Amino acid sequence: MLIVILLLVLAGGLLSLMLGAGLYFALQVVRPKCFPVEETYRAEIETGRMSEAEWNSWEKQDFTIRSPLGYDLFGIYLPLPDSNSTVVIAHGITYTLFGSVKYVNLFRSRGFNVLLYDHRNHGRSGGRWSTFGYYEKHDMAAWVAWARERLGNGGQVGVLGESFGAATAIQYAAETPGLAFLICDCCFSDLNELLAYHLNLDYHIPPFPMLPIASLWSKVLTGMAFDEVSPVRAVGRIEIPCLFTHGREDKFTPSRMSQALFDAKTRGMRALYLAPGADHAEAFFSNPQAYDDQVADFLKACALDGRPQG
């Protein structure tokens, strides 16, 4: 009898340990520590990814809109005279819209207005949890609608998303037609697969049973289970032109994931660019000219390469 009691106590302790560890991991996923706005601004300038003088020279309009899910979203709009095309740029996890500034001239130089915004639970936007596109896709829908309203009839809107922002964009575009194009930089293909990779890389533990337990906690906390976020399943429903870009040496999100997304997009135009020697979110700055050429060719194929704007 004593042995049975000891086994039950041991089993109960082990279960409590696993539940606690699962909660800890779930919180690392859905409530990540995000960088303050000012810190991201200074970091982009100090690393040379953003020119403060150029940023200050552009006409900018700050906006706050209401998410369909009930919180405020902050964005900055960079208009160009007489432009009838806008690109919405969505940043990566834990960062802010200042991480998107490096892409601005890819589009300003081709006559696009640019809209930058902070995801929910990031920067100056509200919202409590980060859900890798599960809820963020509704916020993106609100921003795209806002951009279309600014353009009026005949205007076209495209999206460039980086990492977390790219996964959001794919999930948005799979459910909502009408974008002119989609550019996905260093996107993950499946959240479960990405988290299993990081459990091994960062914690040196197998995905089972930790991943299912953490996913259950995420469902309780946020309403999102990890297996409900899978860009590779969503991308097959997208018919608009898509360009997938990725650093070949990406250690955070392996480049094979963009290859999988490219392979899974069986409808409409698609293109893939794997930047040699580039790590996560470095495909652009590892070779800006090569990246610019890829975007130029892609937009021309979409018949969206506009007038030069200096």
Domains of the chain plus CATH, in order, are 18-301 (3.40.50.1820)
- Residue whose token pair is 């906690």: 217
Cis peptide before 36 (omega within 30 of 0): no
The predicted pLDDT at position 306 comes to 45
User: Residue 231 above 60 pLDDT?
Assistant: yes
pLDDT digits (tens, 9 = 90+) for 8-56: 445 555 556 778 999 999 999 999 999 999 999 999 999 999 999 999 9
Measure the N-to-C terminal CA separation of the chain; round to a whole number of Å.
83
Average pLDDT over residues 127-131: 97
Q: What is the DSSP letter of 131?
A: -
Task: Give the model's confidence band at 209: pLDDT under 50 very low, under 70 low, under 90 confident, else very high.
Answer: very high
The pLDDT of residue 169: 98
- The overall average pLDDT reported for the chain is 94
Residue pLDDT, tens place only, 131-182: 999 999 999 999 999 999 999 888 999 999 999 999 999 999 999 989 999 9
pLDDT at residue 79 tops 50: yes
- pTM here is 0.94
What's the rounded Cα separation, in Å, for the pair 106 and 306? 11
> What DSSP assignment string belongs to 78-89?
E--TT--EEEEE
Find the DSSP H helices in 31-135.
37-46, 52-57, 104-108
pLDDT per position as a tens digit, 92-121? 999 999 999 999 999 999 999 999 999 999
Confidence label for 202 from pLDDT (cuts 50, 70 and 90): very high
Omega within 30 of 0 (cis) for the link into 241: no
